[in-house]
Amino acid sequence: MTKQFVFAGFGGQGMLLIGKFVAMACMLDGKHVSWLPSYGPEMRGGTANCSVIVSDDDVGSPIVDAPDVVVAMNGPSLDKFEMSVKPGGTLVINSSIIDRKSVREDVTVVYCDAMGIADQVKNPKGANVAILGAMLAKEPIVGLDKMEEAIKIELGEKKMRFFEGNKAALLAGIEAAK
């Protein structure tokens, strides 16, 4: 089994972070992983994306040309990556700020009101984790226990105060996508 993911949005939307969450969770689950960030020099407000590969075998290259899953947090990211999703793959769209529908009919499309979910669970900065939950509902690459453990590891002790809010956003995202 090998799955390839692209998480894309503006810098500051937390797409690199949720890519790290997925990579860490899958490592904890005994999988081989690759995480490759890509961002413009302006970072916050510029484009930012990362590629994650999860495999039962060694990962030979971190480059993802035809992802199984794309998570698009903003319009430019949807425009850039929509057509690259493999037929039969999954496209997760942040419907909070992307007002167009996907043109793809050969992929599973999930529209996630990520910002609305984050507000609902009283974690306004948790839209990235809400959309991660929506993705996990359709692409259960790893168990919830491993994802929660990965979030704790990636947050570290200094940011552990954000764990419960992230957990709430993750669970609400999963529920919203069911």
Backbone angles phi, psi at 26, to 5 degrees: -70, -35
pLDDT-derived band at 11, boundaries 50, 70, 90: confident
Q: How far apart are CA 103 and CA 15, in angstroms?
A: 23
Q: How far apart are CA 69 and CA 135, in angstroms?
A: 8
Q: Nearest-CA neighbor of 82 among 152, 145, 8, 167?
A: 8
| Local structure of 38: helix, strand or coil | strand
Residue 42 has pLDDT above 80, yes or no: no
Among 11-25, 38-52, 86-100, 104-118, the least confident range = 38-52
pLDDT-derived band at 39, boundaries 50, 70, 90: confident
For the chain, how many structural domains are there in total?
Answer: 1
Q: What is the mean pLDDT of residues 39-53?
A: 78
Query: Which residue in this structure is represented by tokens 């105060």?
Result: 161
CATH of the domain at 95: 3.40.920.10
Q: Which domain holds residue 139?
A: 2-177
**pTM for the full model?**
0.94
